[in-house]
Structure 1
Amino acid sequence: MRPHVLFFNEINRTSLLYVGGKGANLGELSKAGFPVPGGFCVTTYAYKDFIATSSQIESLLDELNDLDSNDLNQLRELGKRIRTHLQHLAIPIKLKNKIIHAWESVGKQYAYAVRSSATAEDLPTASFAGQHDTYLNIKGKEQLLQHIRQCWASLFTDRAISYRSKNGFNHREVYLSVVVQRMVNPNISGIMFTADPIKGNRKVVSIDASFGLGEALVSGIVSADLYKVKEDIIIEKNISDKKLAIFSLSKGGTVKKELTLEQQTKQAMIDSQILSLAKIGKQIEDHFESPQDIEFCFENDEIFIVQSRPVTSLYPLPNIEQEPLRVLISFGHIQVMTDAIKPLGLSVIRTLFKGGGNVILETGGRIYFDPTEILRHKLGRRFLPKILNNVDENISRAIKEIIQRDEIVDVPPKPGLFKDIRKFVGPILKEGWKNYRKSDPKLVKDQIEAYLETKLNEIRQDLDNSIGVDRLKKVQFHLNTLGPNILENVIPKNILPFLFSTIFLRKLYIRWIGDDKEFQKLNKSLPGNVTSEMGLQIGDLADLVRELPKVEEYLKNAKDQTFYEGLNSVDGGERFKHAFELFISKYGMRCPGEIDLTKPRWREAPTQLIPAILGHMRSVKSGEHREKFTLGELESQEAAQKIINCVKHNRFKTKLVKRQLELYHHLAGLREHHKYMFVSFLDECKKAILSEAEVLVKKGVLQERKDVYFLSLDELIEVLEGEYKQNKSQSISDRKETYEYHQKLKPPRVMTSEGEIITGSPKQGDFPKNALVGSPASAGVIEGKARIILSPETAMLNEGEILVAPHTDPGWTPLFQSARALVTEVGGLMTHGSVVAREYGIPAVVGLDDATKKLKDGQLIRVDGNQGFVEILSDE
């Protein structure tokens, strides 16, 4: 049966395919007993039968699917052609009669709202709000039929075409139903969100309301009052100056009127109405089991609900209780990699932190950790914001804000929490302090690298000598023990003594020299930094390519699958291949976003490095990178000598300062070693997992090897054991869609268990009027052209350009040699980009929200790494 018309009481959420999201939601509300004005839906079957009478529509849809959505002129022209064609297409007589019969059944004496309802509309992941047309106060059958046809045509408005293209919907597979709903004559209308749409708090109901019809508010013609309700208490009122309103006309249509002076400043809804409406809103949210965006109106004092859709803009919450209030911090912002992570990558990270229990949480394709119990203790509230300030100043400011709240302060921490922390951290700190006082820092690099090599050989042999379930269980074991191994055997040797010397030396430079600018010079050209050495070797590869023009031409079009073989037939290819393979043997496990095991490593996709090599050739002279490094060494030595000169007449102080400088000089460059160790181990685990995935592909269990990325480690073991009960193909397909959705989300740095996004107070300072303010990460002031780079795999910097990126990790290092300065959306003093920028001596501003959107390619900007802001000087 293909019904052309369905009344609301015949519809529920399973009717989506033939009444669209709006119609299905209204049917649900109506059947559940909510106050919905009566009406019916003209189904998608009716729409299909309507367009089937057209001899042109198929060719028009072919043109639409081939359209470049960025070509706005072509989009407008084609959209107009389709709309005009549909508006002049006759409605089949049988369909017309069914619509008229339904209209008469509800009541031909009423006026109606005629609304579009697409099959891809009002979904949990895409709302399509405002993409299609709505017509109000429609009277009479001829007007009704005309506006139904116009609704069908609105499936091809410019905004609807563009939205579908950007969200990956096939134009041929989205159909339109039309909702025909009896109009009420409201004195008040508005929109209610059952979760705060700005802050994200799931307990706060946010209501916008004004006089007359809600269409004026939805279209932005009039201002609205704002009311917020939390747990049956009105917590905020913002009464707007409401100068205009839209009202129904008795003969049909609407009119815009100016309100009286008394109405303009009058509260549109009285308090009892606000509370009653909020209560209904929460009941609707409970019914749909998700926060809702609801259109409502009051006719006299009676509430009517005319539409409800999911709120799609909220960042999802992990599966935890909202009370007592908890604080969640983004692991991705701390690791400067905020992209969504596939299920296997997420499960690997959680396996690494298996001892974290409920402290490590997963939501929106990202990892969050919960430090709430630490923050409930006064020592935690004192020290954690200071520690986080070095990682991401914005996170620190947010934490400083949340720890002022009674919900944190008044709830006692779990008994014995700090005793457990001391028991775990105490031995590590004790060993670190001992090394700070007594170890020979010149030996530490060899000690750590020997440990790394021994451990890496151990894990490699262990995984190579096993297969199947046994191999993957060993992967789990090594991931479980990796963190404790690094904490016990690496951190006390290099990171802790380095941090202690950093604190000591920074204070001395400020006290004796007046600021820490000279101290920052100690960071330049440090020995032993694996990431800096990697950058230098990229420069060496670029210099080699300068001598081999045929290799340069080859690299411009090289493919991953034939990368090495292709070099064999190029003049000079063997020479470059040898040097490149040496580089890959040491750094091939690295890549952008390397904390995510599923990201392709350089050894898997060597062409990722080509833009950096060719960009280096364009922006840096031959040998210049090595010259800069040597110059940096001299500047570091001069900065060290300046502080020694301050105490040269005091033997004890001279000895003390030289010891601190020695620690800093030999250990600061090793601060990336534990990450290098982690990534090396991770790559061995990846090889083992993909080897088992290959077996599953050959058996027909998986369609392709990379499908394994959409299973967790536990699930993969279940698959190998034959105990995985779900439909693998469907599960993997669903997860691929979910991953794409998560990739579009912007994860908050800090949020609560109620979903509230905490941003902290704006940073204060004497900044220029139009400055974009972040955090200072590397000293210096420089001007240059902005180059927005979202991913380093295809990016090339030109001479004099400033790298503007969402974040950077070691996989971005090849670009640093070419950058004049650095601006990132994420990061702090001790994160990768900041550390490398200081080593290279380029100014850096980090933690500048939405930098890649606020700045444009080619703009002349000034980066002030001393104070932490960016100025736009001119547009190109």
Structure 2
Amino acid sequence: MNKYVLSFTEIDKAHLPLAGGKGANLGEMTKAGLPVPTGFCISTFAYRTFIKASREMDGLFDQLDQLTYDELERIRFLGKRIREHLASIVMPVDMKSEIVRALDKTGRDKAYAVRSSATAEDLPTASFAGQQDTYLNVRGSVQLLHAVRDCWASLFTDRAISYRVKNGFDHRSVFLAVVVQEMVFPEVSGIMFTADPISGHRNTISIDASFGLGEALVSGLVTADLYQVRGGEIVKKQISKKEAAIYAVPGGGTVTEPLPYEKQTLQALPDAKILELAALGRKIEAHYGREQDIEWGLSDGRFYILQSRPITSLYPVPSFSDEKLHVMINFGYIQMMTDPMKPLGISVLSRIPDFLANDPEARPIIREAGGRAFVDITGALSSKFVRSRILTVLNGMDQLMASAVSEAMKRIEFQYGSARERFRIAARLAPIIVPAAGKVFANLFFKAPEKAEQQAAAFIANIVEETRGKLSGASGAETIRLIKREMGNLLPDVLSKVAVYVLTGVIASGKLEKKLKKKTGNEQSAVLLSKLYKSLPHNVTTEMGLELADLSDQARKHPELIRYLREAKSEGFLEELAKIPGGGDFANELECFLEKYGVRCAGEIDITNPRWCEDPVQLAPSIISNIQSGAAGEHRRKFKQGEKEAEEAGCEIISQFRLFEKRWVSRLVRVYRSLMGMREHHKYTLVKLLHLYKQAILKEARTLVKVGILQREEDVFYLTLDEMAGLLENREAGSIQSILKTRKQEHASNQKLKSPRVLTSEGEIVAGKLHNAKSPEGALIGTPVSAGVVEGTARIIIKPEDAKLNPGDILVAPYTDPGWTPLFTSAAGLITEVGGMMTHGSVVAREYGIPAVVGIEKATELIREGVQIRVDGTNGYVQIVSKEPSSN
């Protein structure tokens, strides 16, 4: 449609390429009969025609393409140059005439708001709100034409350029329309969100209101009143002091005026109008089918809607078939992997609790939201007995999560669960828990704990071989159904055959700590127990770290090999390695390491992540860090020293007690040392099986590639198990490429989301709190998990494959799972955003004897790379010693 001007009545949401996000929305609402002031839109065709008149813009666009979003000085210089250039271009005569005719038709004597409306604006995934300019109380054709040109130029403000670069939008493909809308001169105006933008609660309407034009609120000139409505009732009113307001000037433009003192603390909207506006907000939300960010004004007792756009900051919520309030915990935080997973990864993990559900397909316990797996614990919370155990377990995993769940349990729905629900849960769990409890009792009091690791290892080897045999005998959709069944039966088996040992160790730890604190006091007991925890035997992850450090010692002998490892790429890694002096022997040692541990990687609970055996170059940064941060054999010496300290601590602990108690305390020490190291065995079992499942799934994927249904094997990572089974049975193949394209886009978007620890079915993000009376002012508070104090240089590491640690460096990471373990031999201290006393990083830090604090929200953002920090792993806080990065 090659028209310069379009009336609101001519456009709707389908006309975004012509009218931009703002214009398309205003046309959509006009057609829906919503109270929108009249107006028209100067189309993107007009903008493109205007730009084509320039001979320089192609070259200027080329320069924009080379920018990064943080090159502020270059952005400032180039943006100013483009704006000045656009101001010099003459608007075509026919374009001017059409704009003036539209003004005459709407009313030349009226005042207008002239707003920029970009095609990459008010989208479901990016709002671009405030990136371009707005001009208020524009009167007459001269002011209007000038404002239109200024709007076009505002597409190249510093903030707009930087925002597009950061969000990956091509400058050439973002066009600008201009909305010309009759001005409303409201007594009160503001913004309404049809979901709480802070907590995410979908049933809460949040309204900001102030006197005069809404620009006072948007610009931050005033603090607006805040009203919240839920279920047709006002649940919150926060009346602010509104010292000023913006009003229109008769000749055009606006003026800021102070409000009379007696008006400053008045409630801007009466209660009845608050409820009327909230009802209008729900109507708009229903029309668009999603939550909205709405600009509104109240004039002569009537509400006008000036704009409505999607709220893009809300975290997605899984759908539920009932109206009950559900509470979900983020499985990634429990497993120390907060990155988004691809659909196949979540689909596989979602089968684990199948044994608990009557109908796992209709009422899944694990649900996807924002590319993360959330566990619905609502049913478990209905039982007081189970509820208290959940909190105990979560407290050891992540104190912030435990705190958030405690907050969620204050909701009335969780005070009393139905007897039927409690009985159902008990009936499902009893066949697992009762035998497991018996084994824990026997391990704690009677059985020789030294034999436990051998028995667990035999079980793991057996289940892996059995699974390999079953998979080799299956094909097609039956392979996928087999994987679903095996995952559903895994937890009861692993709990009764493997996890019972570490559960026994945890109980022994608790009993020993209680007795020791009573005998020696908190401080001495903490010191003794921290030593007793060092160099625990039978920890498969610690052993993996030691063997990788052995591999590093092999590499440090050959300078050319080290240089190769610093620059190595995935493609041809092993082949090129063999050509380097010393590379042949190193490659043989690496092959042996991969034979034992190649199924592991960072984020290993996601079946779609590349394993070390698939991409061994992932290990190169850890090998280099080991070489840089320690001498040959130092890791083994430290481990031996840790064993010696643990043995001495055990003897000292036992010596604290009288004869009649020594035997029991000695037993606890023995169980503690023998079994606590086995805390990784159950996850190691899962990881080994996931690798087998992945190989089987990729085998079936190759079949789908051969028949042309899929283009690449890895496309299956964006499908669920059920969808893959359907494809293998020649079902659901028609729209598969469209589904894959959408899923890949969603996964890219999910990378930008910060996932919450606890989420409700109403969209509310329930936050937890940590308190620490011992922390100094300004310190970052977390959970103390490995005693000691260390000062060093902060190294912010988001992915282990990017790690570069030097002696004395402190590892600051979003989380750590077993794939991060190789870095622990290099780090002087540890800080993570996620974790608790019993999570991976905490356990390994205690074994290695490095101070650690975990659960510090946004640690990787609050701590700058290269600054000096002090980690107090005894009291649970981190201090930033120097605010400027060191020159090292």
Name the CA distance, whole Å, in 2 between partners of 1:789 and 1:557: 18
Aligned-residue offset at 1:411:
5.5
Name the counterpart of 1:154: 154
* Match status 1:360 vs 2:370: no
Name the counterpart of 2:424: 417
Q: 1:619 to 1:450 in 2, by over 3 A?
A: same
Counterpart amino acid of 2:248? S
Name the counterpart of 1:562: 572
* Match status 1:619 vs 2:619: no
Question: Secondary structure at the residue paired with 2:755?
Answer: coil
Question: Secondary structure at the residue paired with 1:305?
Answer: strand
Name the CA distance, whole Å, in 2 between partners of 1:68 and 1:37: 39
* Match status 1:629 vs 2:635: no
Name the CA distance, whole Å, in 2 between partners of 1:415 and 1:496: 24
Name the counterpart of 1:373: 379
Aligned-residue offset at 1:322:
7.5
Q: 1:467 to 1:363 in 2, by over 3 A?
A: same
Q: How does 1:239-254 map to 2 (within 5 A)?
A: 239-254=239-254
CA contact under 8 A between 1:133 and 1:154: conserved in structure 2? yes
Aligned-residue offset at 1:281:
0.9
Q: What TM-score do you get using the length of structure 2 for normalisation?
A: 0.96
CA contact under 8 A between 2:770 and 2:782: conserved in structure 1? no
Q: How does 1:682-761 map to 2 (within 5 A)?
A: 682-761=690-769
Question: Secondary structure at the residue paired with 2:878?
Answer: strand
Name the CA distance, whole Å, in 2 between partners of 1:451 and 1:328: 32
CA contact under 8 A between 2:379 and 2:425: conserved in structure 1? no
Name the CA distance, whole Å, in 1 between partners of 2:755 and 2:832: 16
Q: Which runs of 5+ in 1 are unaligned?
A: none
Name the CA distance, whole Å, in 2 between partners of 1:193 and 1:437: 59
CA contact under 8 A between 2:795 and 2:805: conserved in structure 1? yes
Name the counterpart of 2:272: 272
Q: How does 1:328-477 map to 2 (within 5 A)?
A: 328-355=328-355, 356=357, 357=360, 358=363, 359-410=365-416, 412=418, 414=421, 416-420=423-427, 421-477=429-485
1:475-522 Cα offsets, whole Å, 9 max, x none, are 333323222321232222x12221221121111221122123211222
Q: How does 1:3-82 map to 2 (within 5 A)?
A: 3-82=3-82
* Match status 1:640 vs 2:661: no
CA contact under 8 A between 1:560 and 1:604: conserved in structure 2? no
Aligned-residue offset at 1:19:
1.0
CA contact under 8 A between 2:432 and 2:492: conserved in structure 1? no
Q: How does 1:250-265 map to 2 (within 5 A)?
A: 250-265=250-265
Counterpart amino acid of 1:645? S
Question: Secondary structure at the residue paired with 1:490?
Answer: helix
Question: Secondary structure at the residue paired with 1:744?
Answer: coil
Name the CA distance, whole Å, in 1 between partners of 2:704 and 2:744: 19
Name the CA distance, whole Å, in 2 between partners of 1:567 and 1:767: 49
Counterpart amino acid of 1:469? A
Name the CA distance, whole Å, in 1 between partners of 2:728 and 2:718: 15
Name the CA distance, whole Å, in 2 between partners of 1:640 and 1:736: 53
CA contact under 8 A between 1:121 and 1:127: conserved in structure 2? yes
Aligned-residue offset at 1:427:
2.4
Name the CA distance, whole Å, in 1 between partners of 2:380 and 2:463: 33
1:345-380 Cα offsets, whole Å, 9 max, x none, are 111111233334332221111111121222233324
Aligned-residue offset at 1:778:
1.0
Counterpart amino acid of 2:373? I
Counterpart amino acid of 1:585? E
Alpha-carbon RMSD across the aligned residues, in angstroms, is: 1.6
Name the CA distance, whole Å, in 2 between partners of 1:348 and 1:105: 61
CA contact under 8 A between 1:858 and 1:875: conserved in structure 2? no
Q: Could you tell which deviates more after superposition, 754-763 or 459-468?
A: 459-468
Name the counterpart of 2:103: 103
Name the counterpart of 1:851: 859
Name the CA distance, whole Å, in 2 between partners of 1:446 and 1:773: 40
Name the CA distance, whole Å, in 2 between partners of 1:734 and 1:32: 29
* Match status 1:316 vs 2:316: yes
Aligned-residue offset at 1:687:
1.2
Counterpart amino acid of 2:465? N
Aligned-residue offset at 1:559:
2.1
Name the counterpart of 2:514: 507
1:540 aligned residue (528, 547, 550): 550
Q: Which runs of 5+ in 2 are unaligned?
A: none
Aligned-residue offset at 1:406:
2.1
Question: Secondary structure at the residue paired with 1:874?
Answer: coil
CA contact under 8 A between 1:401 and 1:761: conserved in structure 2? no
Q: 1:275 to 1:45 in 2, by over 3 A?
A: same
Q: Could you tell which deviates more after superposition, 747-756 or 458-467?
A: 458-467
Name the CA distance, whole Å, in 2 between partners of 1:36 and 1:528: 70
CA contact under 8 A between 1:322 and 1:753: conserved in structure 2? no
Aligned-residue offset at 1:823:
0.6
CA contact under 8 A between 1:19 and 1:119: conserved in structure 2? yes
Q: 1:805 to 1:514 in 2, by over 3 A?
A: same
Counterpart amino acid of 2:231? E
CA contact under 8 A between 1:192 and 1:208: conserved in structure 2? yes
Q: How does 1:549-698 map to 2 (within 5 A)?
A: 549-647=559-657, 649-650=658-659, 652-698=660-706
1:782 aligned residue (784, 790, 804): 790
CA contact under 8 A between 2:202 and 2:763: conserved in structure 1? yes
Name the CA distance, whole Å, in 2 between partners of 1:735 and 1:728: 10
1:799-840 Cα offsets, whole Å, 9 max, x none, are 111111100100010111111111100001110011101111
CA contact under 8 A between 1:295 and 1:307: conserved in structure 2? yes
Counterpart amino acid of 1:245? A
Aligned-residue offset at 1:465:
4.2
Name the counterpart of 1:484: 492
Aligned-residue offset at 1:423:
4.2
CA contact under 8 A between 2:778 and 2:879: conserved in structure 1? yes
1:231-276 Cα offsets, whole Å, 9 max, x none, are 1221112211211111100110001111111121221111111111
1:772 aligned residue (780, 783, 800): 780
Counterpart amino acid of 2:381? L
Q: What TM-score do you get using the length of structure 1 for normalisation?
A: 0.97
CA contact under 8 A between 2:222 and 2:244: conserved in structure 1? yes
Aligned-residue offset at 1:410:
5.0
Question: Secondary structure at the residue paired with 1:190?
Answer: strand
Name the CA distance, whole Å, in 2 between partners of 1:341 and 1:354: 20
Name the CA distance, whole Å, in 2 between partners of 1:701 and 1:762: 51
Counterpart amino acid of 1:512? K
CA contact under 8 A between 2:600 and 2:819: conserved in structure 1? yes
Name the CA distance, whole Å, in 2 between partners of 1:323 and 1:873: 51
Name the CA distance, whole Å, in 2 between partners of 1:761 and 1:443: 42
Q: 1:379 to 1:541 in 2, by over 3 A?
A: same
**Count of residues in correspondence between the two structures:** 873
Name the CA distance, whole Å, in 2 between partners of 1:800 and 1:826: 22
Counterpart amino acid of 2:210? S
